[in-house]
Structure 1
Amino acid sequence: MEHCTEQMMKVSYAFFLWRFLSSSPIRPKSGKSLCYSQSSLLSRCLCTKGAVAKFNFREEIKNINGLDDALYLYENMSRTRPLPCVVQFTQLLSRVVNMKEYSAAINLFKDICSLGVSVDEYTMNIAINSFCLSGRVDYGFSVLGWFFKRRCSANVYTFNTLLKGLFREKRINEAQELLRKMVGEGLCELNIVTCGIAVDGLCKVGNTSTAIEFLRTMEKGALKPNAHIYNIVIDGLCKDRMIDSALALFNEMPEKGIPPDVVTYSSLVGGLCNLSRWEEVKKLMKEMVFFKIYPDVVTFTTLIVALCKEGMMDEAEDVIGIMKQQHVVPNVTCYTALMSGYFLEGRKDDARNVFDLMGSSKNCAPDVISCNTLINGYCRKMKMDDAMGIFHEMPRKGIKPDVSTYTTILGGFFRVGKWRVALDIFYEMLAVGLKPNFYTYCNMLNGLCRNGQVERALSLLEALERKGQHLHNAYYNIVMGGLIMFNKLNAGRAILEYMGSKGLESNVVTYNVLIKGCCENGLLEDAKDLLFKMGQSGLSPNEVHPHTFLNESQFLHFRLQLRQVHPCAFRSENQV
């Protein structure tokens, strides 16, 4: 009894730290089929008074097929007396995390503690990982505090998990501080995984210079960087378009006895392609083959995507041919890039042929992104019947349309002047439970305004305000442009004042829209007043281009007036 009381006191400490956790007990959802017989499991697991179940749940844990199964099994484990050992609870918890059901894993951990199970460092590491993966690293540190309270020894895995969580939340300073403590205070001995997490985290936030410094520090210490560390830094430099620095690191690798691999070359190919340095790409590909490092699907995909963006479709087709010769199966991304490239060249039939080829392939069935690419291509060409054909085909292929699908289609209908159909698509999107995003609302507001439905656009804007949604100034800029398009200049200026009252900062686009309206209506004094306001807001008038919407004589007159307000508005005659 005393042991049980002591355990419960320890558990209560954790609950104080995790006050946000749900207090409701865990129950499986009803109506779901299970991968094992409920009746036989109940007869083997549930205990009557005085009975003891001696059932090992290891096999049942292996046979779990989904969250409902896991929760049902946990229910039975929690009723078994004596309770299963902590190892089996930990195995169950691990399965739930592998399903990416992090919130469920956290609640399971809480429930396991409430049963009085003496959780160990493995269980607590899983809990920390769940918090970090769900974007709540602070609560992961709370579990770490419980580690120390229970006199458990946190290991390098624990700190690596927390470090990765901080980098994932872009809390760079805190991540670097933790790293310093790990080394300086001897919290644990760093391993190569720790270094990989640090370098990767720095590169992902664009801090490649610090990542290189870290790599240089490693070179001076006992823990030397390996190919994986170099690959992370090289990839980060390539993504930041610092290809020459990446090539310099690449050339260092053989000198330090670290052979580059296919990952190294793939990153460099991508970096060179992004800068259209095609001759160097060819040279690098030949070098790969010379050193018997053969391009894989990632290398080829990177190359194909870049070629298609440049409109080099013949070359992209050649690469597909080489892939097939080398028995490298093109993936969905390859074919999607081809479709996009064909549409850029106006070859919609070729794009459709690629889509049909994917549909007949066992290994490369189209996904929602490839469908959206085809729909977008048709919408841009105003082929709405073809776009809707793909849209209706998606459910038959087991593909669920997403927000991007609906946003693209309603934008297409607005483009061809069918605004009522676009509204129907929008309402259908809401009915199926999809939440519109920034681009959806921009398409809606812009489409309504361009189709003469400015009042409806204003109503939508007001509805969004009533919902308490954060409204981007782009929404107001679009509606303002719509009002001015239909000669409602005063209403447009009223929106500018309203934006100020709501604390929304006007940008260059906002002022360009209004200044254009004033100039087109001959209200040059009003345009000058707006430029004065613009200067007061800290925006540069050099970014306003009135010559794009004034004739020559109007512009000369406007420039003279503008210089009275902003003497340096035009730096030289060549800029005009």
Structure 2
Amino acid sequence: MRAELSLKKMSSRRGRIYISSIIGPRIAYCNKWLLKGTSKSPSPSPSPSPLVKVNQPSCFLFVLFRSFSNTTKNPTSPPQGREPKPKALPKQSCNLGPNHLRSALISFNRMLRMRPFPPISQFNKALGSILKMGHYATALSLIHNKLQQLQGIQVDFYTFNIAINCYCHLNRVDFGLSLLGTLFKRGYTPNVVTFTTLINGLILQDKTPQAVELFKKLMRSREIEPNVVMYGTIVNGLCRTGSTIRAVSLLRIMEEGSCKPNTVVYTTIIDSLCKDRMVDDALKLFSTMDEKGIFPNVVTYTSLIHGLCNFGRWKEATGMFREMLDGGIAPDVHTYNVLLDACTKEGKMKEAEGVLEVMIQRGVDPDVVTYNTLMDGFCLQGQMDEAIRVLNTMVERGLHPDVFSYNILINGYCKKIKINEAMHLFRELSRRGLKPDNATFSAMLRGLFQTGRCGAAQKLFNDMQAAGIIPNSQTYGILLDGLCKNGYISEALSLFHMMESKSLHLNVVMYNILIDAFCKDKKLDTAWALFSNLASKGLQPDVKTYTTMIQGFCEEGLLHEAKELFVKMKLNGCLPSDVTYNTIIRGFIGQHKCYEALILVEEMVQRGFSADASNSSLIIDILLTKGQDPALRVVIKKFMPKDSHGMQEIE
């Protein structure tokens, strides 16, 4: 969806078992390539596992499978007469280099040339290696284009599990479920590995509720005995979706049952608790690990250090780091990145560089995240020359800056109002083979508006959309703010209405920008209309919205309206801030309504706020000119900062 921005005008997603009877006719087609050329009976396995039964699967598993296949998106059926095969799969990750993959492919092809063929277990071993490398589509292609095409090779239960795993990692759990149906057809009973893979696939596709439901049914049926990996997968899914408390409940069930939690399960929950800012609970769980004799790993310590640093608990974080070293656990690059990030956020750049030095001395290679974090720290301090030095060091060490590296520097230059330098880096992105993203354009737009270059900002916004990048809420907020602050208020309102007409997401921040602009432009009717429109859009005004509108009323001398809105604000559960109190007090003082101001001052003091410098000066002036009112003097002493200038004069 494209929105052209103009400063002049804004224009305007089982007897005989039939596969289709279990999973439905549309999902069954993608199994045929695994069945083609194979006998109806299961192929013999050189070393059958006791976990795999080659007998009639249980009725429960059929019913269970049907219930889940019906709620999972099915692939579209291919044209008749054509052999289906997976296509348009998502881009796969590559965890190991091309040499590892090349060696695995050479080994696989060598086995294909052997006569007789090696047992299927050897092929499965090779496929498993490719899967572990993250080359999921490659593994599927080998099964389809190599194994399935040759007579004399029959895929077995393990091959199916590999294929299911690949599909799940490619965000096609629907295909994985369809292969589960094929397992039933061939007389196999899926084991705990199969179901854990499918549960993980559902979680990877943000279908954690379905994953939990499948897990519950397995638990109730007792057909599959969950192991620690399956429990850990569910715990991970719950934590990913913010259900940390439910994950803790599941942990307690594990602790009381026969399948005890391991380091990974505890660490997953500890990490989630830290991210939920429940660091003390995470530390208690860490102590529980120690009591139960479960050893933490580098991830456990890193999560806790990160959580402690986020709360500024440096002493405890340092103690945790030392405990980690004393326990013989070597910090990894992520641990050092956490420490470095904590230093930069506190402006401790010397300490941050010290962390980098120690890291290198200990043989841990810094990564792009390390240098990005250091660059960001220097940018936050306005030290752009130092940030560029870090960028050059990164390149000298053979690392390639990513788009986030450039975003940090562009944002840094824009904040320093060095737009030409920012634009130079912006243009360098394409020469480096990198594509700017929303954050890149947003930083540049903000910088251009700050320097009054509205025409250049307009062109950049249109270029952004021409490049296929859809502006997000932050980008539109920057546009609205930039237009308003440069005097293009009517154009900002036109853009806002265009966003409304195209059903783009509008948030309270955007309303605040416009309300503030119209209040400052003395157009209170328009500001109030926008304020009143919030409820119809399902939005609630926040403290900034109320404060802005109150200030608008006060500046126009409409104290009655300001006081009414102030009362309504509290009734609606939005507590005034110190800025709100100072704004309305200033309004009443400005109209010489000292008694009303005094009542608000007392309320403000009770809330633990004090007057700002502007109000302090106004109140002192009034007190000096209106005489020594004893009641007023007592209140003034309560709310004035102890070091306020002028108090001695009153005394």
Q: Which moved more, 1:489-498 or 1:119-128?
A: 119-128
Checking the alignment, whether the CA contact within 8 Å between 2:136 and 2:170 is kept in structure 1 is: no
* SS in structure 2 at match of 1:542: coil
- Residue 545 of structure 1: CA displacement? 0.7
- Residue 534 of structure 1: CA displacement? 4.6
- Residue 394 of structure 1: CA displacement? 1.5
Change (3 A) 1:540 1:327: closer
Q: How far apart in 2 are the matches of 1:139 and 1:546?
A: 60
* SS in structure 2 at match of 1:160: helix
1:331-410 matches, within 5 Å, as 331-362=367-398, 364-410=399-445
Change (3 A) 1:284 1:22: same
Deviations 1:524-571 (A, max 9, x none): 2332444466567x34353581423635614884994999xx9x9868
Checking the alignment, whether the CA contact within 8 Å between 1:384 and 1:413 is kept in structure 2 is: yes
Change (3 A) 1:23 1:175: closer
Change (3 A) 1:361 1:168: same
Q: Which moved more, 1:483-492 or 1:215-224?
A: 215-224
Alignment partner, residue 524 of structure 2? 489
1:426 aligns with 2:461: yes
Alignment partner, residue 33 of structure 1? none
Change (3 A) 1:553 1:130: farther
Alignment partner, residue 225 of structure 1? 261
Deviations 1:12-64 (A, max 9, x none): 6245968864456579999xxxxxxxxxxxxxxxxxxxxxxxxxxxx9x959x
Change (3 A) 1:542 1:223: same
- Residue 191 of structure 1: CA displacement? 1.5
Checking the alignment, whether the CA contact within 8 Å between 1:181 and 1:187 is kept in structure 2 is: no
1:474 aligns with 2:518: no
Q: How far apart in 1 are the matches of 2:476 and 2:207?
A: 31
* Letter in structure 1 aligned against 2:404: I
Checking the alignment, whether the CA contact within 8 Å between 2:493 and 2:514 is kept in structure 1 is: yes
Q: How far apart in 2 are the matches of 1:293 and 1:219?
A: 25
Checking the alignment, whether the CA contact within 8 Å between 1:484 and 1:492 is kept in structure 2 is: yes
**What is the aligned counterpart of 2:559 among 518, 524, 532?**
524
Checking the alignment, whether the CA contact within 8 Å between 2:23 and 2:181 is kept in structure 1 is: no
* Letter in structure 2 aligned against 1:455: S
Alignment partner, residue 331 of structure 2? 295
Identity %: 39
* Letter in structure 1 aligned against 2:245: S
Alignment partner, residue 490 of structure 2? 455
* SS in structure 2 at match of 1:545: helix
Change (3 A) 1:507 1:325: closer
Checking the alignment, whether the CA contact within 8 Å between 1:473 and 1:506 is kept in structure 2 is: yes
Q: How far apart in 1 are the matches of 2:594 and 2:444?
A: 42
Checking the alignment, whether the CA contact within 8 Å between 1:238 and 1:267 is kept in structure 2 is: yes
- Residue 260 of structure 1: CA displacement? 2.2
Change (3 A) 1:256 1:488: same
* SS in structure 1 at match of 2:261: coil
Q: How far apart in 2 are the matches of 1:334 and 1:496?
A: 44
Q: How far apart in 1 are the matches of 2:501 and 2:512?
A: 19
Checking the alignment, whether the CA contact within 8 Å between 1:14 and 1:143 is kept in structure 2 is: no
Change (3 A) 1:152 1:524: farther
Alignment partner, residue 330 of structure 1? 366
**What is the aligned counterpart of 1:13 among 5, 25, 29?**
25
Q: How far apart in 2 are the matches of 1:189 and 1:222?
A: 10
* Letter in structure 2 aligned against 1:350: E
Deviations 1:495-528 (A, max 9, x none): 2344444554444433332222111111223324
1:30-45 matches, within 5 Å, as none
Checking the alignment, whether the CA contact within 8 Å between 1:516 and 1:546 is kept in structure 2 is: no
Q: Which moved more, 1:148-157 or 1:223-232?
A: 148-157
Q: How far apart in 2 are the matches of 1:460 and 1:562?
A: 43
Checking the alignment, whether the CA contact within 8 Å between 1:342 and 1:348 is kept in structure 2 is: yes
* SS in structure 1 at match of 2:469: coil
1:445 aligns with 2:457: no
Change (3 A) 1:459 1:143: farther
1:8-407 matches, within 5 Å, as 13-15=25-27, 21-23=75-77, 62=105, 153-165=189-201, 167=203, 175-362=211-398, 364-407=399-442
* Greater relative contact order structure (CA < 8 Å, 6+ sep): 2
- Residue 225 of structure 1: CA displacement? 1.7
Q: How far apart in 1 are the matches of 2:250 and 2:266?
A: 11
Structure 2 spans left out of the alignment, 5+ residues = 1-16, 29-69, 89-101, 107-119, 149-153, 611-651
Deviations 1:307-327 (A, max 9, x none): 111111111111111111112
Q: How far apart in 2 are the matches of 1:135 and 1:24?
A: 19
Q: How far apart in 1 are the matches of 2:165 and 2:595?
A: 61
- Residue 465 of structure 1: CA displacement? 2.3
* Letter in structure 1 aligned against 2:323: E
- Residue 156 of structure 1: CA displacement? 2.2
- Residue 476 of structure 1: CA displacement? 2.6
1:540 aligns with 2:579: no
- Residue 215 of structure 1: CA displacement? 2.3
Deviations 1:137-188 (A, max 9, x none): 7897687678668865333234324433555566666544433321221231
- TM-score of the superposition, structure 1-length normalised? 0.75
* Letter in structure 1 aligned against 2:606: S
Q: How far apart in 1 are the matches of 2:19 and 2:310?
A: 59
Change (3 A) 1:279 1:187: same
- Residue 481 of structure 1: CA displacement? 1.9
Alignment partner, residue 413 of structure 1? 448
Q: How far apart in 1 are the matches of 2:402 and 2:575?
A: 46
Change (3 A) 1:139 1:553: farther
Change (3 A) 1:262 1:353: same
* Letter in structure 2 aligned against 1:370: S
- TM-score of the superposition, structure 2-length normalised? 0.67
- Residue 466 of structure 1: CA displacement? 2.6
Q: How far apart in 1 are the matches of 2:170 and 2:596?
A: 58
1:572 aligns with 2:606: yes
* Letter in structure 1 aligned against 2:338: T
Checking the alignment, whether the CA contact within 8 Å between 1:191 and 1:223 is kept in structure 2 is: yes
Q: How far apart in 1 are the matches of 2:561 and 2:233?
A: 56
Checking the alignment, whether the CA contact within 8 Å between 2:484 and 2:492 is kept in structure 1 is: yes
Q: How far apart in 2 are the matches of 1:502 and 1:11?
A: 42
Checking the alignment, whether the CA contact within 8 Å between 1:367 and 1:399 is kept in structure 2 is: yes
Q: How far apart in 1 are the matches of 2:568 and 2:313?
A: 45
- Residue 408 of structure 1: CA displacement? 0.7
Checking the alignment, whether the CA contact within 8 Å between 1:342 and 1:351 is kept in structure 2 is: yes
Q: Which moved more, 1:236-245 or 1:456-465?
A: 236-245
Which has the higher Rg, Structure 1 or Structure 2? 2
Equivalent residue pairs, number: 507
* Letter in structure 1 aligned against 2:365: V
Deviations 1:336-389 (A, max 9, x none): 111111122221110111112222221x22111111011111111111111111
Change (3 A) 1:555 1:381: farther
* Letter in structure 1 aligned against 2:382: G
Checking the alignment, whether the CA contact within 8 Å between 2:550 and 2:583 is kept in structure 1 is: no
* Letter in structure 1 aligned against 2:294: I
Q: Which moved more, 1:202-211 or 1:433-442?
A: 202-211
